[in-house]
Amino acid sequence: MDRLTRKELKSDRFALEVQHSVEYVSGHRQQLVRWGGIAVAVVVVVVGVFIYLSHERTVRQAALHAAMQIQNANVGPTQNEFVLSFPTPAERQKAVVKAFSELAAKYSGSDEGTIAEYMLGTNAADQGNLAEAEKFLKRVVDSGNASYGSLAKLSLASIYAGEGKQAEGEKLIQSLIDHPTVVVSKELATISLAELIAHSDPARARKLLEPLRGSPRPNVSKAALSALSDLPQK
């Protein structure tokens, strides 16, 4: 039966469909009772799965929140029981790696697991372990998650540039310019490319940034102006 919200549904056709439905129910009562029971069972299963998945997601998000709290914990003497802190940066880093590693392993394939791998990659880069950073960031790129993958591409591009593989970095960012995401816009990718080539090709970098300095989006124009000011003087 056509949905009642469709404009082309006419009253006479609706009446005819109702008549057919009544006749069908009269002739197939036993089958409908049986199928109706099956339908109810299916609905119960679907609702149960939804509740389970919602619970699982809540658990994953709680684990991610706990790991992020460690990431953002203070270093130094404990101030009070409500503020997480570690005696030294090394101990905090050890706890960060442990928390995100466990999260990535336990919830592999989920958004939270992908975020954990991204955090492991960026933390490794901050520690100067570029090989480890590249390993995790590549996993994020290959995860199929466009949003987190786009962030990983930006980080990978910087790592490649630091390793003297600037052409590979440019290729990654160009893919973001060609295929932006909700997280990494075309403008952000363009500014990132300009920053990547600022010293090797300042003229090209300026050409990329100039159209963005007058962007109606304040964050874009501000970032473009900041990148322009960092370019080598002619």
pLDDT reading at 117 higher than 90: yes
pLDDT at 80: 73
Per-residue model confidence as pLDDT tens digits over 162-198: 888 999 999 999 999 999 998 889 999 999 999 999 9
Per-residue model confidence as pLDDT tens digits over 83-116: 788 899 999 999 999 999 999 999 998 888 998 9
Output the average pLDDT for the chain.
80
Tokens 């995100």, residue located: 100
Per-residue model confidence as pLDDT tens digits over 17-61: 444 444 444 444 454 444 444 554 544 445 554 555 566 778 888
pLDDT at 84: 86
| 111-139 average pLDDT score | 90
Per-residue model confidence as pLDDT tens digits over 219-229: 999 999 999 99
pLDDT at 194: 93
Per-residue model confidence as pLDDT tens digits over 2-29: 444 444 433 444 444 444 444 444 444 4
pLDDT at 145: 86
Q: How confident is the model at residue 82 (pLDDT cuts 50, 70, 90)?
A: confident
Tokens 């799965």, residue located: 49
Distance, in Å, from the CA atom of 173 to the CA atom of 155, rounded to the nearest integer, reads: 10
Listed in sequence order, the residues at least 6 apart from 198 whose beta carbon sits closer than 8 Å to its beta carbon are 205, 227, 230, 231, 232
Listed in sequence order, the residues at least 6 apart from 125 whose beta carbon sits closer than 8 Å to its beta carbon are 133, 155, 158, 159
pLDDT at 197: 93
Report which of residues 148 and 17 the model is more confident about. 148
As a whole number of Å, the end-to-end CA separation of the chain is: 72
